[in-house]
Amino acid sequence: MNAADALIRAGRALVEAGLSPGSSGNVSVRTGDRVLMSGTGTRLGALEPADLAELALDGTHLGGARPSKEVSLHLALYAKNPTHTAVVHVHSPSAVALSCLEPWSEHSAVPPLTPYALMRVGQVPLLDFVVPGDPAMGELITGSRHPFRAALLANHGAVVSGEDAATAVDSTIELEEACRIALMTLGAPRRLIAAEQVVAITQRWNMPWTGNAHQ
């Protein structure tokens, strides 16, 4: 599957999962030193090849549609995770809602409640609010001392990278579920996964987790 087909399929999968209402969200796929990205104002569930923008890794627009204003967000995550070849940014309901709350901990807004989030996402820091499209958003990603493949953007949504487009989509779906469960359990006496098991799971699945499991 070529990069354009992978990107189009990813967009449709996100819409089918209910994670990209209206024309919100954007997806990109990196091939070598080029990035294909959904164009501004496009609907992820109805992408066509003409809706895709081609960019260099420095953000230069090389051709195709006008890229989304979130270019810096995508390029920063590729820089942070250089082995990853896809980035998803969505305004999914549970991720947005959790991003409007104070984070569970300094290194992860999402507490370790289920093994699946640990297996597919790991820690999910909350990044400070900046206006959507502001290049400072990319600086928050590259400047973070925490390793991560997913983050919540304060009062905004989620961004996720993956080794390929299908993995990035699956991780985004799992993150939304983890955020939903975190919201459902707010105010209740939570039973977190034991700290040593958090470490064992994330290490086995090669997911980032650098903080104390119960802080």
pLDDT in tens, the chain (215 residues): 799 999 999 999 999 999 988 888 999 999 999 999 999 989 999 999 999 999 999 999 999 999 988 999 999 999 999 999 999 999 999 999 999 999 999 999 999 999 999 999 999 999 999 998 898 999 999 999 999 999 999 999 999 999 999 999 999 999 999 999 999 999 999 999 999 999 999 999 999 999 665 55
Q: What is the rounded CA–CA span in Å between residue 165 and residue 99?
A: 24
Please list the active-site residues.
70, 116
- The whole-model pTM stands at 0.95
Beta bridge partners of residue 31, listed in sequence order: 34
Residues 6+ apart with CB under 8 A from 147: 80, 208, 210
| Helix-helix angle 136-143:71-80, to 10 degrees | 10
DSSP 70: T
